[in-house]
Amino acid sequence: MLDSPAERLEALALGLAEDEVEFHRSRSLARLTSWRIGGPGDLFVAPNDRRSLSAALGRASATGVPVTFIGGGTNLLVSDKGVRGLVIKLGEGFDYIRWADEGGEKATVEVGAATKLARLVRETVDAGYGGLEFAAGIPGLVGGGTLMNAGAFGGELGEAIQSIEVADGEGQVSRIGTTELQFSYRKLALQADRVLISVGFVLLRSSTSRLRNTVEVVQKKRRKKQPVGHPNAGSVFRNPPGEYAGRLIERAGLKGTQVGEARISDEHANFIVNLGDARADDVRRLMQLVQDSVWERSGVWLEPEVRMLGEW
């Protein structure tokens, strides 16, 4: 019987090696996040196919090692102490766009979870199909964008999604259709042990020139509003009903407030930037300051939009 975390990790490593799944020990996760912050994952796997993914999940389940899944890292704050257990990031084999029924008024497209959202928007617009143009400029991958129901300028990914494909904690793959999908503001309700591996979209024929114009307008708006030059994770807090988190933070007088090397952006108060050597704890403390100050000033408790991973 495996009694300690170290013994379970070693058993998992041996199992991964036996299944010919490439893995890394104590892999730094900082460079895998847009904040460029965070400690190591005990074991790290980037499977390039379903066999490797299923094997990794199955071995982790058998040895009792917890699994953490990361996507493009654009909405992650990883603890300075890192993440215990197995960290999985889908590899290049899950980066694809496959069209079906293209050419009519409606098209379906199957997209790997590791595909960049920007690439998907570009290809669908170039093909003359609308439904995703609002997402132009949203960073990250299709998988992460789906899990947080990414949206902007009145649109959300969930509105164009007809199904998703997931792997469970044992590595078994299944498809979830429209009637079972539960999207809400910045969230898809999905069991914690499910790994999203592909997304099916339904798009409608539209004017390519109109779509490109819309993309240009959206990108200009994003560039005007968002800070550049320092690593960040986009919007840190969700907008509460009928209000904007950035406006509430600005009203609390927090623009430019700094903890260590983490700073609330002078351009947009709902962004926290890494000035160079910020630690995860700097960001966490700044987030707590924002929540407390906005609550005292406006009576609104801001909910984080970023995921916090690891030991705190």
- Catalytic positions are 186, 235, 305
**Nearest 5°: phi and psi at 145?**
-60, -35
194 CB burial (10 A radius; 0-12, 13-18, 19+): middle
Exposure b/e, 236-275, CB count within 10 A at least 16 = b:
bbbbeeeeebbebbbebebbebebebbbbbeebbbbbbbe
Are 6 and 49 a contacting pair, CB within 8 Å?
no
For 35, other C-beta atoms within 10 Å of its C-beta total 25
Nearest to 273 by CA among 73, 83, 36: 36
Q: Is the dihedral of CA 307, 236, 256, 136 positive or negative?
A: positive
Are 246 and 227 a contacting pair, CB within 8 Å?
no
Distance CA 31, CA 29 (A): 6
Q: List Cβ neighbours of 4 (8 Å cut-off, separation of 6 or more).
A: none
Distance CA 206, CA 138 (A): 21
Q: List Cβ neighbours of 131 (8 Å cut-off, separation of 6 or more).
A: 124, 159, 160, 201, 202, 203, 204
Distance CA 262, CA 285 (A): 9
Structure tokens at 199: 């997304």
Are 302 and 294 a contacting pair, CB within 8 Å?
yes
